[in-house]
Amino acid sequence: MTNDHSHALPPSARWLLGLSLALLLLTLAWDASGLDLPTMLHIGTPQGFDLRHQPVLERVLHDGVRKVSTVLFILMIIWAVRRDSGRPGTTTRRERLTVLGLVTLSLLAVSITKQFSRSSCPWEWTQFGGHAVYTSHWNLLTSDGGGGSCFPGGHASGSLAFFALCLPWLWSPVAGRRTSIGWQWFALVVFAGLASGVTQTLRGAHPPSHTLWTGVICTAVTLTGWWLALPKLRAARSTT
């Protein structure tokens, strides 16, 4: 007896799951290594972070990328709600709305996690002239003396939340779609997420683990949501 989830995974979907698992293992290993503080000590000084207000990092790679992400999200809404073309192999409105929903859920998941975080940003740590005592970002019980709500990386989520854009091609509900389109979206999202994360680390806003966990959260939410949606997406395709 079979069910809707018994479809064999395409090779591209297996790669996505494998890469997501590798990201989780890398993130856990980084946490276990305790490298956040040594990394930030190499970047900052007791007076703070010299690159915090560096024009390219602050205005272009932080403010500029955030504006681009907002525009992309608006364009995605327009893309998601447009009518189906009816051409074989093209994405359906149901698929596009699912992608939009998963991007939104990823952003919300990171934002909600930040609300419960007691971890303050590195530029608030005592090592860099602030008042927060560096503690693990998994500390949910006591304040570190700073503003908190820094974990995970919110700026990186503005890029990594768009991970769902690759799924209609890499984990498609129908056969025959060009996986190259999905891999292009995947590469763009990963590159933008890494650039955003490195930018914030250099500015003293987030240690590397914050960006890594943002990636883990976004991929977990996206892949789980897409897997749950696949049966209905396939059923909708079979009735058209």
Helix (H, G, I), strand (E, B) or coil at 75: helix
At residue 125, what are phi and psi to the nearest 5 degrees? Answer: -70, 150
More confident residue, 236 or 79: 79
d(CA 205, CA 47): 15
Residue 128 CA to its chain's centroid (Å): 28
pLDDT(4) > 80: no
Percent of the chain with pLDDT over 70: 95
Which pair of structure tokens corresponds to residue 28?
């856990």
Q: Please, which residues bridge with residue 125 across strands?
A: 132
Model confidence pLDDT, tens digit, residues 124-181: 999 999 999 999 999 888 999 999 999 999 999 999 999 999 999 999 999 889 999 9
Model confidence pLDDT, tens digit, residues 81-119: 998 877 777 899 999 999 999 999 999 999 999 999 999
pLDDT band at 3 (very low <50, low <70, confident <90, very high): very low
